[in-house]
Amino acid sequence: MSQAWVIVSGKGGVGKSTITAALAVALARRQLMTVAVDTDIGLRSLDILLGLQNKIVYDMVDVANKDCKLKYALVQYAGAPALSLLPASQLGSSADVNAELMGKLVRKLKKRFSYVLMDAPAGLERGVTNTLHSADHALLIVTPDDVSIRDAERVITLLAQLHKPRPLLIVNRVVPELVLRGEMYSPQTVANTLDVPLLGYVPEDRAVLRALNRHQTVMDEDCPARQALERISQRFVGEYVPMPSHTKRRWFFGWR
């Protein structure tokens, strides 16, 4: 059965778009029909992250306004044909697509795709709530700091008010050495604080920026962030993949 996920954070700049693009590529490379939906109207970014910025003719607002059919706005990703992008418009604002139109759009997408991954804007304004409304599930992206955690708590409250299931958590930009030294929250500590299940964590990795500058996702780099996202995508589709233990302290003969 098709699933619509929103990738959301509260705090801006924590890696929602990076993770949406990478997860979408990982799912599509497993031959799972996936659409990445950029709901950040006016501030789109998934097109650049996927290297599709020169292929956009129509966007989500055109579809919502019935200026074009959905199929003409979808852009196929060359690196994995099972992946399509529904871009946000570069102009306009979240007011251009209301919750009802967004809901209709998602229902249409679910008929064609197994996974609908919606990259939410930052904050908790209308654009975000519209997207939360239309999603079946939420992936919460948090960086291991108090500001991001506090904003994530507000997202969790909002999801509960909308009668949505509890989100799954991805902790991004983890620096294992700092966690070991007790100078950064461990991913599990963040999960315990927020009381949500941990899907995985992504380490801080310069290859993420390198990939962005090449207009490709981190799934085309050979780096720790890619490996982490690979594991996350496996857990996302229900496979059992243990968490790597390099943020735990080495203790005699094993890890604890």
Ligand X SMILES: Nc1ncnc2c1ncn2[C@@H]1O[C@H](COP(=O)(O)OP(=O)(O)OP(=O)(O)O)[C@@H](O)[C@H]1O
The interface region with ligand X, picked from 7-15, 60-68, 110-118, 129-137 by CB under 6 A, is 7-15
Q: Which residues in this chain contact Mg ion in the complex, by CB under 5 A?
A: 16-17
Instruction: Look at residue 172 and give the partner it binds from Mg ion, ligand X, none, a contact being a CB closer than 5 to 8 Å depending on partner kind.
Output: ligand X
The two tokens of residue 115 are 């996974």
Check if the beta carbon of residue 218 is closer than 8 Å to that of residue 225: yes
Nearer to Mg ion (CB atom), residue 16 or residue 110: 16
d(CA 148, CA 152): 6
Single out the residue of 135, 187, 143 nearest to residue 166, CA to CA. 135
Least gap, CB of 143 to ligand X (angstroms): 8
Least gap, CB of 82 to ligand X (angstroms): 22
Nearer to ligand X (CB atom), residue 70 or residue 121: 121
Single out the residue of 104, 95, 33 nearest to residue 63, CA to CA. 104
Beta strands in the chain (DSSP E): 3-8, 34-38, 75-76, 83-86, 115-119, 137-142, 168-174, 198-203, 250-251, 254-255
Q: Between residue 94 and residue 123, which ones bind ligand X under the rule CB under 6 A?
A: 122
Single out the residue of 38, 207, 203, 221 nearest to residue 116, CA to CA. 38
The interface region with ligand X, picked from 6-14, 65-73, 105-113, 163-171 by CB under 6 A, is 6-14
The residue from 5, 8, 10, 15 that contacts ligand X (CB under 6 A) is 15
The residue from 147, 209, 237, 241 that contacts ligand X (CB under 6 A) is 209
d(CA 229, CA 214): 18
Least gap, CB of 140 to Mg ion (angstroms): 14
Rounded to whole angstroms, the maximal C-alpha distance in the chain is 65
The residue from 26, 34, 35, 40 that contacts ligand X (CB under 6 A) is 40
Nearer to Mg ion (CB atom), residue 14 or residue 179: 14
The interface region with ligand X, picked from 183-191, 193-201, 208-216, 243-251 by CB under 6 A, is 208-216
